Chain A
Amino acid sequence: MPAPATTETKPAPAAPPPIEKIKIKVDGREIEVPKLMPDWQGKPQPTTMLQACDLAGVEVPHYCYHPKLAVAGNCRMCLVEFGTPSMGPDRRPALNDDGTPKIAKSVLPYEPGTPRGAISCATPVSPGMEIYPSSPATKQMREAVLESLLVNHPLDCPICDQAGECKLQEYSVEHGQAQSHFVETKVHKPKAVDLGPRIMLDDERCILCTRCIRFTRDIAGDDALGIVNRGSFNTIAAWSEGGFDNNYTLNTVDLCPVGALTSKDFRFQMRVWFLKETKSVCASCATGCNIVVSSREERIYRFVPRENNAVNDCWMCDQGRLNHRWVGRADRLKDVLVRGQKSTWDVALGDIAGRLHRAAPGSVAIVASARLSNEELFLIKTLADRLGALTDSVPRDGAGDSLLVHGDKNPNSNGARIAGIAGAPMGSRLPQIAEGIASGVIRTLFVLGEDVTRHGISAELLARLETLIVSDILPSATTAAAHLLLPGCAHLEKHGSFTNAGGRVQKFMKAVEPPGDARAEWEFLSELISGKGAPGAAPTLEGVFAKMAAALPAYSKVTWGGLGETGATIALP
């Protein structure tokens, strides 16, 4: 798989030749499907029956097949009955009396009355083929396959974390039988096996679909998993005890169609049916993987990747996925503080507006984090322009990889650059601000979401300021020195958009309520700029976004609504 995707269509060839279409029938309904369709790597391959059924809008149940993984064909759940046009002895298509082609259903060679299904995930379609995904024979095949998959299944749904999003449960309801013919003792396999630092394996629940093996071998590039032992004692195993440890292990938990692979982070934390799902974006690096935030009663339980073929396919890194506990930390900033005393937003914002109004041009500097949203950075730029303020963001570089992790650890560096907040390169104006404070030119500093004492503006310098306004989420040396402290929001507690490393503008939605008096930065910034309830103020985020799109040429072609769930790519200036 290529590096962090930047364009809309990833591995597609420059000018694909027109793909031939073929006519087939699905459940008696004629449809046209392309002869070739992209496989898991995006390469054109003969269209499979499963893909054709998908195009026809008929769901074929499956476990081992995954559109982003190599086809293994081992679960047999996608078996379907099918038929192909038959040939006469004259090597010409045989016709029925009414002139329609005669279809020879696939049957067992030694038992012509018995239908012989084919796994739809690996069988290509051919012209004139008829697929019967809803026929009684197909139904019987599914029942039998499901029964055999459940032969050794422990049925411990009450204690299984997968319950509620388990394909075994779902298909058992849809295609299962109430009774099993199996009367023997179930084979017991190891439970709660420590596969790696973040993964727990329950071998009894495993149906050996090998999705995890294929993912970690083909996508993560770490051939750490395999199957050991024989027959009913087949188990998934890591190459050494606890050896399943790469930065993408938790994707196998998502891929696992049953509850065999479970996340230690989420183990026995909450049942999935309680979780509210909010579409968001991961803010741990500039890749901006699309995620679903699962929360219940204002507590975040997990991040799960959300499919976006332009950014992260179906995956995300473990680091980003587990970076959610800080949101609910007890020491979050909850109160508006004016000179250390608890105050209200109206008082503090009035105070700030007065101070900024009185400040001499050039005596104000703003350090705004590149973790803020596009809309907030735009509002800060508006404020900075009005004050003639010097602005910058803090660069945050780290190690990247070739799959998803980006070296830039700020989720919105490009947003800060486009808004004109960041210096070139980012952080280059921070020494200038420090000098300005030291020489007494800069008397007012507005810091949003950064601890500037760790980035060249020491606590001694901060003490020299006439006014230090700080908005942040967690306490730091900078918030301790603040004259006016405004509690802010994590991106999970507000709406907004980020522009990722590839210039994709993606929106995130509010998953949980901010703690205490904390407010979204864009809210108080627009109040600060326009005055509370002023006619020019944009009281909604959509309004701020529209203003931003009108003011910044880079965003001129996007609208809040047009971003959709997976965002839109803009040309980076």
Chain B
Amino acid sequence: MVVPRPTLKWYERLYLPALYAGLRVTLGHLFSWRKSGVYGDKTRDQQFKATLNYPEELWTVPPGYRGAPYLVSDSKGNTKCVSCQLCEFVCPPKAIRIVPPGLDGPPADRPPAEKMPAEFEIDMLRCIFCGYCEEVCPEEAIFLAKDYYAGYDPKLMRRDYALTATRRGDLVFNMRELLERGGTHADGHGKWEHKQREADDQQTFPLKG
């Protein structure tokens, strides 16, 4: 098949109009004093800037930002995941791998929950950040989050939106890493603690309530 080569007009052959068309957006930003909505939450200084000195300067992600899926702990630092494996089931690219505890596995952090994964891995290279895992989780244990985890060092590179590593294996996060990045999530209802309290109360007579 022969692709016909277009014959260019003389002004097209100058390439200057094409150069101008390409630079127009950049130049528009350069000479614009319009306030950038993207940097609304930044300092006044930065509000008028169109570019960032990445990676020294980092974009502050907006509040509703849905980043990578991480596991969260409850307010007492207990693992919330009960290894029901619904996220593993629903995950379209099969990025999640859970090793259930079995009969002799590690005991759950919260005794009434009986169960907690022996291992939990998410391959961030496979993850498509769809959020199904967060949606399906019956225990509110996995969230697509920004990572401002406890002990975060602002001098180090933020990982909010930059999942970077030098080896593939480094982007397969295990349970410890996922919990560290997920931080805590206080759900307020404390389902399992509530169950335990109810059960304990029923051990005494007359029953309370």
Contacts and interface: CB of A to CB of B under 8 A. Distances in A.
Interface stretch (A98-106, A269-277, A357-365, A475-483): A269-277
A205 to B, nearest CB: 12
Could you tell me the dominant secondary structure of chain B's interface residues?
loop
Indicate the member of B89, B114, B198 with the most A CB atoms within 10 Å. Answer: B114
Interface in B71-124: 82-86, 88-89, 100-103, 105, 112-115
A185 interface: yes
A330 interface: no
B198 A185 contact: yes
A154 B114 CA distance: 13
Interface of B: 82-86, 88-89, 100-103, 105, 112-115, 138-139, 195, 198-199, 201-202, 209
3 closest cross-chain pairs (CB), A and B: A188-B199, A158-B84, A159-B115
Interface of A: 154, 156-159, 163, 185-188, 191-192, 264-265, 267-271, 273-274
A267 B102 contact: yes
12 contacts: A156-B114, A157-B84, A157-B138, A159-B114, A185-B198, A186-B198, A267-B102, A268-B100, A268-B102, A268-B114, A270-B85, A274-B85
B74 to A, nearest CB: 15
Contacts of B112: 191
A273 B84 CA distance: 11
Contacts of A271: 84-85, 89, 100
Contact of A188 (B83, B89, B198, B209): B198
Contacts of A267: 102-103
A248 B11 CA distance: 91
Contact of B100 (A156, A188, A191, A270): A270
B89 A273 contact: yes
Nearest to B196: A188
A74 B68 CA distance: 50
B209 A185 contact: yes
Contacts of A273: 89
A271 B115 CA distance: 13
Contact of B103 (A185, A188, A264): A264
Contacts of A188: 195, 198-199, 202
A503 B118 CA distance: 46
Contacts of B113: 159
Contact of B84 (A154, A163, A185, A269): A163
A268 B115 contact: yes
